[in-house]
């Protein structure tokens, strides 16, 4: 189907949906949204929909398939609710969780839907997209020379997976369709996918990504590339002969056992620390319960998060107020910290800094909000993505499923995260994302006291020191991490822990 035909079909279906929605006839599971009774409203909707479909079938300029129209109509209807609500037809491969529809492990991308196009939530740590130069909030305008015109997140993901399938099957892909790069032995098809991308700063760039099909196969089998939790140690004051080792905890994913991994790896270091840095940059998706369990390691008591569910009395699904009145609201549940899950190593008064950026989304935002809201950490970096919705899978009679928003995660004080994001306590803006190919590299001439390289606690210390020292001058600078080290060191000195 050509882009022109697809655009016409999308317009047609949107008109149908406008008729339906304009008549106030949308309801789920018998719920009423019209002034009249719910049963009458749903019956009217079914009658009108059948009438419109029959007229389209009889009079539209070219023959159409009813099944295809219904599929597109359902996708467009759900996309009008929010970016992630989706219809999954029968036979759709099972999702790892309700928030993983936009995960493309072969590309190392997590995407969402906005304004008829795919938007990058974040590239992943071990995927090819990050190294290729993809950044959080990039808009994917075209795949090669073909515009990426999508009606929903499911539709966009389906188009990307079709392109990947063509390459994996060694199919000859026309230049006019995907505009592939020169042959590359790294992929079965010997080619990469080329995207026209608009960055958040409005610059447009063509970026080629060589898919990692092994990562896709591993993810489908329940295995992921690289460690989810990496723990290292830095001592920025060693040159001055001062004490003050700082533990740096990098989360690349948030699996269900994240809290245990963090606690075990920190405990394995077997030493006291002057402070801790929790790096949540470019961390999207993941398990919300795992995120809050990880927050519980740092917070002994108090509210970690609030969950706001559906209110029957009024429709507030589009509310984007910065704060939410949760007092005496029976639809809001407090998620409390449990003292038995508290880590003695990461307990107060250990100073903590949390690094966030535009790629910090979903469960990672709730983790950061829990520490900030309990005054347990200082947030440093850029404003987070703003995506913290509880989603559920609803089974349908035809074997398909709906992915629907059924709640919102709020900060401990009841502030809304969705579409708003978290504002750091200390904003460091206009910095290239970590791993950006344009980031400055080599030693910082303005910083005479260079930071000691990271020691990975999961590998033998002697080997790490040699390897890290050899690569220190070649590593891209990370000003956000440098600032975080300075802040933790200052806080530790003030509290008498590093001097």
CB 216 within 8 A of CB 224: no
CB 228 within 8 A of CB 251: yes
Convert the pLDDT of each residue in 455-499 to its tens digit: 444 444 444 444 444 444 556 778 899 999 999 999 988 877 544
Place of tokens 């008549």: 23
Say how far apart CA 291 and CA 185 lie, in whole Å. 38
Closest-CA residue to 173 (of 148, 157, 194): 194
Do the first three CATH levels of 103-220 and 229-494 match, i.e. the same topology?
no
Three-state secondary structure string covering the chain: CCHHHHHHHHHHHHHHHHHHHHCCCCCCCCCCCCCCCHHHHHHHHHHHHHHHHHHHHHHCCCCCCHHHHHHHHHHHHHHCCCCCCEEECCCCCCCCCCCCCCEECCCCEEEEEECCEEEEEEECCCCHHHHHCCCCCCEEEEECCEECCCCCHHHHHHHHHHHHHHHHCCCCCCHHHHCCCCCCCCCCCCCCEEEEEECCCCCEEEEEECCCHHHHHHHHCCCCCCCCEEEEEECCCHHHCCCCCEEEEEECCCCCCHHHHHHHHHHHCCCCCCEEEEECCCCCCCCHHHHHHHHHHHCCCCEEEEEEECCCCCCCCCCCCCECCCCCCCCEEEEECCHHHCCCCCCCCCCEEEEECCCCCCHHHHHHHHHHHCCCCEEEECCCCCCCEEEEEEECCCCCEEEEEEEEEECCCCEECCCCCCCCCEECCCCCCCCCCCCCECCCCCCCCCCCCCEECCCCHHHHHHHHHHHHHHCECCHHHHHHHHHHHHHHHHCCCCC
Convert the pLDDT of each residue in 299-337 to its tens digit: 999 999 999 998 654 444 444 344 445 656 778 999 999
At a CB cut-off of 8 Å and minimum separation 6, what does 167 contact? 173, 187, 188, 189, 191, 193, 211
Closest-CA residue to 298 (of 251, 252, 256, 349): 349
* Widest distance between CA atoms in the chain: 84
* Number of residues in the chain: 499
What's the CATH number of domain 103-220, 3.30.565.10, 2.30.42.10, 2.130.10.30, 3.30.1330.60? 2.30.42.10
CB count in 10 Å sphere of residue 169: 9
Say how far apart CA 437 and CA 439 lie, in whole Å. 6
Q: Exposed e or buried b for every residue in 8-34, given b needs 16+ CB within 10 A?
A: ebbebbbebbeebeeeebbeeeeeeeb
Domain boundary assignment for the chain: 3-73, 103-220, 229-494
Say how far apart CA 277 and CA 378 lie, in whole Å. 10
Say how far apart CA 174 and CA 30 lie, in whole Å. 48
Q: Which homologous superfamily does the CATH classification assign to the domain defined by 229-494?
A: 2-enoyl-CoA Hydratase; Chain A, domain 1 (3.90.226.10)
Model-level pTM? 0.80
Per-residue pLDDT of the chain (499 residues; tens, 9 = 90+): 544 445 444 544 444 444 444 433 333 333 334 445 566 788 888 899 889 989 998 999 998 888 888 888 888 889 889 989 999 999 888 887 777 899 999 999 999 999 999 999 999 999 999 999 999 999 999 998 889 989 899 999 999 999 999 888 876 555 545 544 444 434 444 578 999 999 998 999 999 999 999 999 998 888 888 999 999 999 876 654 445 789 999 999 999 999 999 999 999 987 778 999 999 999 999 999 999 999 999 999 999 999 999 865 444 444 434 444 565 677 899 999 998 898 989 988 899 999 999 999 999 999 999 999 999 999 999 999 999 999 999 999 999 999 999 999 999 999 999 999 999 999 986 555 444 544 433 333 333 343 444 444 444 444 444 444 444 455 677 889 999 999 999 998 887 754 4
Say how far apart CA 462 and CA 460 lie, in whole Å. 6
CB 142 within 8 A of CB 244: no
Say how far apart CA 389 and CA 173 lie, in whole Å. 38
Convert the pLDDT of each residue in 274-285 to its tens digit: 999 999 999 999
Place of tokens 């992943």: 124
Q: Distance from first CA to last CA of the chain, Å, rounded?
A: 68
CA distance readout (Å), 25 to 10, 49, 86: 20, 11, 19
Handedness of CA 422, 127, 231, 253 (dihedral sign): positive
Say how far apart CA 235 and CA 246 lie, in whole Å. 6
């Amino acid at each position: 189907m050509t882009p022109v035909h697809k655009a016409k079909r999308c317009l047609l279906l949107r008109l149908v949906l406008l008729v339906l929605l304009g008549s106030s006839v949308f309801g789920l599971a018998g719920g009423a949204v019209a002034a009249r009774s719910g049963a009458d409203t749903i019956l009217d909707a079914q009658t009108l929909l059948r009438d419109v479909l029959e007229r389209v079938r009889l009079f539209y300029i070219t023959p159409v398939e009813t099944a295809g129209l219904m599929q597109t109509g359902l996708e467009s209807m759900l996309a009008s609710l929010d970016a992630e609500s989706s219809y999954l037809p029968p036979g759709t491969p099972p999702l790892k969780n309700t928030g993983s529809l936009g995960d493309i492990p072969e590309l190392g991308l997590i995407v969402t839907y906005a304004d008829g196009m795919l938007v990058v939530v974040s590239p992943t740590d071990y995927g090819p997209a990050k190294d290729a130069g993809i950044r959080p909030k990039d808009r994917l305008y075209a795949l090669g020379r073909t515009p990426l015109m999508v009606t929903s997140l499911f539709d966009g993901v389906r188009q990307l997976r079709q392109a990947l399938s063509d390459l994996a099957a060694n199919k000859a892909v026309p230049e006019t369709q995907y505009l592939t790069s020169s042959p590359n032995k790294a992929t079965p098809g010997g080619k990469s996918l080329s995207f026209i991308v608009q960055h958040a700063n409005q610059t447009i760039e063509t970026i080629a990504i060589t898919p990692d099909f092994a990562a896709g196969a591993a993810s489908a089998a329940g295995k992921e590339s690289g460690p989810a939790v990496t723990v290292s140690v830095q001592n920025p004051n060693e040159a001055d002969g001062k004490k003050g080792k700082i533990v740096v905890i990098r989360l690349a994913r948030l699996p269900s056992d994240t809290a245990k991994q963090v606690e075990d790896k920190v405990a394995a270091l077997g030493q006291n620390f002057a402070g801790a840095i929790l790096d949540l940059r470019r961390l999207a998706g993941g398990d919300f319960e795992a995120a809050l369990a990880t927050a519980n390691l740092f917070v002994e008591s108090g509210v970690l998060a609030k969950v706001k569910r559906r209110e029957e009395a009024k429709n507030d699904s589009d509310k984007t107020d910065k704060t939410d009145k949760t007092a005496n609201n029976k639809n809001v549940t407090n998620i409390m910290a449990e003292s038995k899950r508290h880590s003695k190593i990461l307990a107060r008064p250990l100073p903590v800094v949390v690094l966030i950026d535009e790629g910090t989304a979903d469960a990672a935002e709730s983790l950061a909000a829990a520490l900030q809201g309990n005054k347990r950490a200082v947030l440093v970096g850029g404003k987070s993505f703003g995506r913290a919705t509880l989603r559920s899978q609803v089974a349908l009679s035809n074997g398909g499923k709906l992915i629907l928003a059924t709640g919102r995660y709020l900060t401990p004080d009841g502030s809304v995260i969705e579409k708003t994001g978290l504002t750091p306590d200390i904003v460091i803006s206009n910095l290239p994302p970590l791993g950006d190919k344009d980031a400055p590299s080599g030693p910082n001439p303005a910083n005479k006291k260079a930071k000691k390289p990271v020691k990975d606690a999961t590998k033998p210390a002697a080997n790490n020191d040699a390897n890290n020292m050899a690569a220190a001058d070649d590593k891209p600078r990370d000003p956000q991490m440098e600032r975080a080290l300075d802040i933790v060191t200052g806080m530790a000195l003030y509290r008498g822990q590093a001097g």
